[in-house]
Amino acid sequence: MLENFFWSSSPGVQLQHGEHDPFLVLLSLAVCWIASSQALRHAAFARLATKPQLRCWSIAGGSLALGIGIWAMHFIGMLAYSLHETVQYDLLRTVISILPGIAASAVALTLLSRNEISPKQLMIGGLIVGVGIATMHYSGMAAMRMSSPHKYSPFWFAVSLIVGVALATLALWVRFGLNRSSIKHDTLRKTLAALIMGGAIAGMHYIAMLALRVTADHSSHGIAASNDKLILALTIALITLAIGGLIAQANGLIHYRTRWQKVDMNEARLSALVNMAADGIICIDNRGLVTDYNPAAEAIFGWTAEEVLGQNVKMLMPSALSGQHDHYLDRHETGQRNAQPPLKNKISEVLGQNKQGALVPLRLALSQAEARGQRIYVGLLTDLTDRKKTEHQLHIAATVFDHSYEGMVVLDANRKVVDINPAFERMSGLSRKIAKNKEFISLFIHDDEDSRWHEIWTQIGRNGHWQGACTMRHDAHTHQISLTAVRDEQQRLHHYIAVCYQRIDIPLTVSI
């Protein structure tokens, strides 16, 4: 069998020497380069795929496009080689020879779709791809039908395999190598990668053609029409490029649809977050017109989105402040045109005005962003009305705490002193700093009265309150103590409040 495949020199046997058509050679290279470019694009699609199905489709579609492209390059390259006799091709074998090229392309694209590749993977992948392309080449050559027998030089056959594996390894490495190179321009890197990869694939074919040996024993000396070769080559090239283009277009549309779905989902998610936000969110353009206005902002100002969108944001400000807004916005826009730093989470307290004309205290976090080339300003508004009321109530409570004549003590849930007021400082003789973290009962004389305090805490736990007399350790004076337990919304003990005042015993006088 090997005798029918490998050629050995015999005395008196003459060999035919063929010639390559330069135009068809260039056409085969162009087809290979375009197919390589499409393969790299499919590999990029596979890397960016958000779903396993899309990744598989990208690799499968790219393998088909690249495999047909490699086969077309080989077939056009074979048409470019002219022998002095008519050459025909077995249709079934010619079609079957596409399969090894598609399989080799699948391995190549699987590796190219990765972000990184190890040296071991590169060597194994190069071996498989190189052998696959060589199999496609020699199975395609087996489809040739000539009156003269054709065989292959063992030396050049071995060289073609070695070079094929080496060039396939280079074709796989080139994308990763160029990505790590100093070439910054992305289009230039992609173009160079396609040229090198296409040249590597085509190089294997033309080196393998050096192994072809055709004897001249039974040559019919008929010359195939060059016009037929040209038409056939152009037809194959156009069909190959059309198939590759259709596959690339379908792949691109699928990925575009997937990206559109992702963008649509992100927009829906963002819309849900904005609409469900507890704080008001208002966006304006560089003219001060409201472009976004969420439900929380409606609750703050009383204006609906239909009433506010497209209107100037000054309608939400007191008249004393709205007159300054245009000047501030114009000044900031001028600064942006002069490359000043952008606004980023500038926080301030401002006054808004609701639909009823009432002033609303607000916390404003202001930032700017770019949306489709246009500058927008995003304001995050927190209604401070309840907080201001709480602060006012706390101020009143603090005033009462500090100025009350009765001594007041705040205890934590472990009955340790958190704070005392000035009146209790005078009663206990302790400063706030010293009193903090002391056990409350340590401030009183309680010899052999541990059981009494146990009963006191039990009564407070049961009734929430206790009142009675205790002797202060500091001066041995008896004081009236009122202890109250404070609980949170879940009725869990949070802290205690103790109110102390000195009991004054009024002497009983008897008039006679």
Return the number of other C-beta atoms located less than 10 Å from residue 184's C-beta: 7
Distance (Å, rounded) from C-alpha 398 to C-alpha 402? 6
Distance (Å, rounded) from C-alpha 119 to C-alpha 137? 27
CB of 35 closer than 8 Å to CB of 65: yes
| Structure confidence by residue, pLDDT tens digits, 140-193 | 787 777 766 777 778 888 888 888 788 778 777 776 766 666 666 667 777 777
CB of 20 closer than 8 Å to CB of 81: yes
Amino acid 242 reads A
The yes-or-no verdict on residue 345 having pLDDT over 90 is no
Distance (Å, rounded) from C-alpha 404 to C-alpha 502? 14
What was the pLDDT predicted at 497? 92
Token pair listed for 499 = 């109110």
What was the pLDDT predicted at 223? 47
CB of 251 closer than 8 Å to CB of 45: yes
Phi, psi of 107 (to 5 degrees): -65, -45
What was the pLDDT predicted at 508? 46
Lowest mean pLDDT among 48-52, 180-184, 218-222: 218-222
Length of the chain measured in residues: 512
Q: Chain-wide mean pLDDT for the chain?
A: 80
Alpha helices in 142-225 (DSSP H): 154-179, 186-208
What was the pLDDT predicted at 511? 45
The yes-or-no verdict on residue 342 having pLDDT over 80 is yes
| Structure confidence by residue, pLDDT tens digits, 254-285 | 777 777 777 778 888 888 888 888 899 999 98
What was the pLDDT predicted at 186? 67
What are the residues whose beta carbons fall under 8 Å from the beta carbon of 111, sequence distance 6 or more?
Answer: 117, 121, 122, 125, 172
Residue 508: which region, alpha, beta or left (left: phi > 0; alpha: psi -120 to 50)?
Answer: beta
Query: What CA–CA distances, in Å, run from 12 to 9, 216, 217, 402, 500?
Result: 9, 11, 10, 125, 131
What are the residues whose beta carbons fall under 8 Å from the beta carbon of 48, sequence distance 6 or more?
Answer: 255
The yes-or-no verdict on residue 400 having pLDDT over 60 is yes
Domain at 404-502, CATH class? alpha beta
Distance (Å, rounded) from C-alpha 116 to C-alpha 112? 9
Token pair listed for 9 = 């020199």
Name the residue with higher pLDDT: 125 or 7. 125
- Mean pLDDT, residues 188-210: 78
The yes-or-no verdict on residue 503 having pLDDT over 80 is no
Name the residue with higher pLDDT: 228 or 300. 300
- Positive or negative torsion for Cα 458, 459, 465, 468: negative
Token pair listed for 348 = 């301030």
Q: What is the 3-state secondary structure (H, E, C) of 262-296?
A: HHHHHHHHHHHHHHHCCCEEEEEECCCEEEEECHH
Name the residue with higher pLDDT: 448 or 20. 20
Task: Sketch the domain layout of the chain as residue ranges.
Answer: 2-250, 277-384, 404-502
| Structure confidence by residue, pLDDT tens digits, 442-459 | 888 765 556 778 888 889
What was the pLDDT predicted at 224? 46
Query: What CA–CA distances, in Å, run from 66 to 34, 42, 108, 241, 464?
Result: 9, 10, 10, 10, 83
The yes-or-no verdict on residue 301 having pLDDT over 90 is yes
The yes-or-no verdict on residue 21 having pLDDT over 70 is yes
Token pair listed for 89 = 């091709």
Nearest of 90, 80, 214, 94 to residue 152 by alpha carbon: 214
The yes-or-no verdict on residue 471 having pLDDT over 80 is yes
Q: Which helix (H) or strand (E) holds 479?
A: strand 478-487
Question: Do 277-384 and 404-502 share a fold?
Answer: yes
Return the number of other C-beta atoms located less than 10 Å from residue 205's C-beta: 25
Is 1.10.1670.10 the CATH classification of the domain at 277-384? no
- Mean pLDDT, residues 363-368: 90
Return the number of other C-beta atoms located less than 10 Å from residue 319's C-beta: 9
What was the pLDDT predicted at 1? 53
Query: What CA–CA distances, in Å, run from 367 to 272, 315, 353?
Result: 20, 20, 21
Q: How many CA atoms lie within 13 A of 274 on its CB side?
A: 17
Q: Which residues pair with 16 in a beta bridge?
A: 214
What was the pLDDT predicted at 474? 78
